[in-house]
A and B are shown apart, each in its own frame.
Chain A
């Protein structure tokens, strides 16, 4: 059974702090990993892809740990505008197309002034 698991939160974090959350996946053959951001009552939007070597985009850092089968998202110097739900997305079938994309239920982040 394919699974992508996330802590639903909410994570309540003061503005300016660093916050990190993980996402675990069950299929060791998964090849593609993404973080999407979804604001309340809005559509998901791609935040960043996650590469094997890890990658950074401004205040956001994504990492992949294949041995332990999880990906992580780190947000530094958090802003009020970072408040959102962060969705972990994994391609659960090796070589498969987006019929194999599995979305986690999301981690709700609240940045407090």
Chain B
């Protein structure tokens, strides 16, 4: 099993550009989520999904969109990048449909917005 994979590993964007961060898992987990991690702050939940076709907002959803067309994939789209979105983004999945079980994280995407 590859677990949770994320692409790209690194990305530099200019203000106003859009892009999609990819996330995939091969563990057949229903629950998937996106977090961002900033220096001096804990991980903050952006969006999450409890299954294909179902998504919901987390603590910091503004400026991000998600979709969940399959169990395996959960892409995160930045609509119009801003410097405040410079961060490390982690995708996670969980076997628990409530999301309270062990969270399996991907390796992260380091995003810089100029």
Contact = CB atoms under 8 A, between A and B. Distances in A.
A, B in one complex = yes
Interface of A: 4, 32, 36, 42-46, 49, 87, 91, 97-99, 101-106
A97 B43 contact: no
Contact of A99 (B41, B58, B96, B103): B58
A98 B107 contact: no
Contacts of B40: 105
Interface in B58-114: 58, 90, 94, 96, 98-100, 102-103, 105-108
> Interface on chain A toward B: helix, strand, loop, or mixed SS?
strand
A99 B42 contact: no
Given A4-B42, A105-B40, A105-B41, A97 B99 contact: yes
Given A43-B107, A44-B105, A46-B103, A98 B43 contact: no
Interface residues of B, number: 25
> Interface on chain B toward A: helix, strand, loop, or mixed SS?
loop
Contacts, number: 56
Contact of B48 (A32, A98, A103): A98
Contact of B42 (A42, A46, A106): A106
Given A44-B105, A101-B103, 15 more contacts: A32-B100, A43-B90, A43-B106, A44-B103, A45-B105, A87-B43, A98-B45, A99-B45, A99-B56, A99-B58, A99-B99, A101-B45, A103-B35, A105-B40, A106-B42
A110 B105 CA distance: 23
